[in-house]
Amino acid sequence: MGIYFNEVTHEYPSYTKKTYKAIQNISLKIEKENEFIALIGHTGSGKSTLAKHMNALIFPTSGSLDIFGNHITQKRDKKIKYNSIRKNVGLVFQFPEYQLFEETVEKDIMFGPLNFKVPLEEAKKKAKEALSLVGLDESYLKRNPFNLSGGEKKRVSIAGILAIDPDVLVLDEPTSGLDPAGRDTLMELFLDIHNKTKKSIIIITHDMDLVYKYFNRALVLKDGELSFDGTPDDLFRSDVLEHNHLDYPNTIKTLKYLKEELKLDIDIYKKNIDEVIKEISRVTSNE
Amino acid sequence: MSLIEVKDVSFSYIEEKQSLKNINIKINKGDWIAILGHNGSGKSTLAKILVGLLEPKSGTITIDGIELNQETAYDLRKKIGIVFQNPDNQFVGVTVRDDIAFGMENLCVPRKEMLERITYYSNKVGMLKYLDKQPSNLSGGQKQRVAIAGILAMRSEILIFDEATSMLDPFTRNDLIDYIKLLNKEGFTIIMITHDVNEAVLADKILIMNQGQISAFDETRNLLKNKEAFEQCHLELPVALNVASKIENKAIKDKLWEYTLMK
């Protein structure tokens, strides 16, 4: 079970041309467990549209999806309980302002659980827990979400979905606009949830350092089509990035510079700082 | 004389918590300043105060020798353009074209020139073929690009980017950065609020904010040597410098510094 795309195309209306194809002919299988996927691609490549399909927030123009056994086609089907799909797959939006709407942070986070018939007291407890998971203390509960800073809003919107405890998490650029400490805390949180529960997590990001460091699968979209599906390591060793307006992780770029400038016999494919330092000391100790 | 002078500025949204405490900054014409700081450290608040969207509770802002207040704000805003964190906060037009035109209309730019600038700047940010589209139908990163084009088209001499590249793909971001470098060479003053230290090192000076106060403000080269200033505020150094601080080999260390400060 999981999220299966079968030749999915999605078109948006447009002023000039009749329609605009955001994604084209996507076939893809994401299993319910054991996947930690980075979804990458240039701006406008269809990442957010693909994400919105994952919990049937929008319907395909052609093709179909199987989301946790629910067959999703072009039209709304009365037999399908869409509400339960939202419990299967939780989606956190790119802009928190699209998602936040309540007067207080607490009410906002409780909204999801209450919708899924969680009793009030328990929903309150869940709100508190979710808030602390994303690194905000209880003093935020009574605050108005719209008076928070950009990064704080982002965290509250993530807490709102964590409180629902969905089977699969889809997050659209959860770390953009966060400071490095906040970004790392959240990535560690997602990884921790994934490791403890095996739940699959799909994250849209432009940060190649994160892609290399954390993920076990990378999907690359180009002009609405899937142009790569494999491990980050294979991705960065290939020439896919150059054809996709993407960049390499800073670890690779830094090591590549050293390799070229100092003519070092060095392996540039290192995922994090510790690996980079190890590789440099390996090379320098040989001298 | 400094182009922008911030003197003893304090601000608070709610009484219990001061968002900015006694900020003093001088920015010269043609400077490129990067502002780093954790979420909620007051970076965006400072930006809003600089463009007169928020009024400081105390202290003064002087731009080009004129004090910013209710009477002067309208004229001074022509000198400052700001691109917000969330582009939806600034869209007004029905189409991308209208939206880019809006700022110029307020500046009474002649129609012919306006059309030229729309073509030029939408092309600069790679959105030329989207001019007839509705901003609301664009992706997050595309919206950011339109918002940037709209501000660039106004040709304000001071440009503030409030995490304006946070949702851009690396290629578009590099392209925009190259263009900002060019603007800066032409004499535009750039203030860039960012969480990306790799972007910050391109600036001449880095300002670090922490809990509503300035915790460091120095030439980029000098500040990068001050590892504590970064650690204190939970900020990270660029990968290359982080590595440099943990190895012995001098030749490699030097190269890593060279790589970081390459423009």
**Model confidence pLDDT, tens digit, residues B211-250:** 999 999 999 999 999 989 998 888 999 999 999 999 999 9
Q: Give the closest residue to A267 by CA, choosing from A251, A244, A247.
A: A251
> What value does the mean pLDDT take over residues B11-28?
90
Beta bridge partners of A64: A6
Q: Provide the number of CB pairs (under 8 Å) joining chain A to chain B.
A: 145
| Residues of chain A neighbouring B171 (CB-CB closer than 8 A) | 42, 245-247
pLDDT digits (tens, 9 = 90+) for B120-150: 999 988 899 999 988 888 887 888 889 889 9
Q: Give the closest residue to B72 by CA, choosing from B46, B51, B103.
A: B51
Task: Note whether B38 and B48 are within 8 A (CB).
Answer: no
CB contact under 8 A, B198 and A250: yes
State how far the Cα of B108 lies from the Cα of B114, in Å rounded to an integer.
Answer: 9
Contacts of A62 (CB under 8 A, 6+ apart): A7, A8, A9, A74
| Residue A154 amino acid letter | K
> In chain B, which among 4-33 make CB contacts under 8 A with chain A?
13-14
pLDDT for position A122: 95
State how far the Cα of B212 lies from the Cα of B2, in Å rounded to an integer.
Answer: 23
Measured in angstroms, the CA of A79 and the nearest CA of chain B are apart by 30
pLDDT band at B168, cuts 50/70/90? confident
CB contact under 8 A, A208 and B234: no
List own/partner pairs for B253-256 with CB under 8 A and 24 or more apart.
Answer: B255/A257, B255/A258, B255/A261, B255/A262, B256/A254, B256/A258
Reduced to 3 states (helix: H, G, I; strand: E, B; else coil), residue A218 is strand
pLDDT digits (tens, 9 = 90+) for B66-92: 999 989 988 898 899 998 877 777 777
Q: Which has more confidence, B98 or A245? A: B98
> What value does the mean pLDDT take over residues B156-172?
87
pLDDT for position B238: 94
pLDDT for position A97: 81
Reduced to 3 states (helix: H, G, I; strand: E, B; else coil), residue A60 is coil
State how far the Cα of A265 lies from the Cα of A263, in Å rounded to an integer.
Answer: 7
- Rounded to a whole number of angstroms, the distance between the first and last alpha carbons of chain B is 28
Q: Map out the domains of chain B with their CATH numbers.
A: 4-220 (3.40.50.300)
| Residues of chain B neighbouring A282 (CB-CB closer than 8 A) | none
State how far the Cα of B63 lies from the Cα of B150, in Å rounded to an integer.
Answer: 22
Report angle CA A42, A48, A53 to the nearest 5 degrees.
140
Measured in angstroms, the CA of B167 and the nearest CA of chain A are apart by 7
**Average per-residue pLDDT for chain B:** 90
CB contact under 8 A, B239 and A258: no
pLDDT for position B244: 95
| Residues of chain B neighbouring A247 (CB-CB closer than 8 A) | 170-171, 174
pLDDT for position A287: 56
Radius of gyration over every alpha carbon of chain B, rounded to an integer in angstroms: 19
Give the DSSP letter of residue A114: H
> What value does the mean pLDDT take over residues B163-184?
85
- pTM equals 0.85
Parts of chain A with a pLDDT under 70: 14-18, 286-287
pLDDT for position B139: 81
pLDDT for position A159: 95
pLDDT for position B39: 83
Residue B22 has pLDDT above 70, yes or no: yes
Measured in angstroms, the CA of B63 and the nearest CA of chain A are apart by 26
